[in-house]
Amino acid sequence: MKRILSILLANEPGSLSRIVGLFSQRAYNIDSLTVCPTADKTLSRITITTHGDDRVVEQITKQVNKLVDVLKVIDLTEVQHIERELLLAKVFARDELTRAAVTRVCEVFQASIIDMGKQSYILQMVSTADRIESFLDMLRHESDIIEVVRSGAVGIGRGDKALKG
């Protein structure tokens, strides 16, 4: 089962490396990872997407919580949350027919064409991972995908409560 963990920790050199090292030592796979300072520049938020059952995620959470730099760990998949991912994709757009088809797919999925070359488009989409996968599947039917870059999931819990130390 896909899990999204949100980790609040000290914004210090080595903090990220300790988290990643823990996953590696325990043979837990990281599907995606994003990290950035929070509004409080002394803290960072790491969002990790991983897979595992309740027991595995509980183990991960306990181990991460033991790290000195970590203030809080939340499994966002267990609370109401909003998650998004950024996609950049470069596709061949050789002729007018292909360009029109790619444009239609972008309109349906609310993606944007952010750059045009003589034979290529660069597309941008911000959505859930599932919707991005559907978008990419449709693009594959209409054009050749040259390159794909994805940010990985970021997420935030809904409501008034904040992830604070």
The number of domains in the chain is 2
| Residue 124 resides in a domain | yes
Domain-ending residue, one of 37, 58, 79? 79
41 and 107 co-located in one domain = no
Instruction: Please check whether residue 121 lies inside any domain of the structure.
Output: yes
Q: 10 Å Cβ neighbour count for 116? A: 11
Rounded CA separation 5/62 (Å): 12
Same domain, 36 and 93: no
Distance CA 139, CA 105 (A): 7
pLDDT at 41: 92
Residue 159: inside a domain, yes or no? Answer: no
Say how far apart CA 27 and CA 22 lie, in whole Å.
9
Mean pLDDT across the stretch 80-92? 95
SS3 call for 128: coil
- The verdict on 69 and 99 lying in the same domain is no
pLDDT for 5 equals: 93
End residue of a domain, out of 60, 79, 98: 79
Q: Mind listing the pLDDT tens digit for each residue in 94-123?
A: 899 999 999 999 999 999 999 999 999 999
Range of the domain at 19: 2-79
pLDDT at residue 157 is higher than 80: yes
13-34 core/surface letters (b: 16 or more CB in 10 A; e: else): eebbeebeebbeeeebeeebbb
Same-domain check for residues 87 and 67: no
To the nearest whole number, what is the mean pLDDT of the chain? 92
Q: Decide if pLDDT at 163 tops 80.
A: no
In a domain, 165, yes or no: no
- What is the per-residue pLDDT for 131? 97
- Claim to verify: residue 13 and residue 60 sit in the same structural domain: yes
pLDDT at residue 58, rounded to an integer: 87
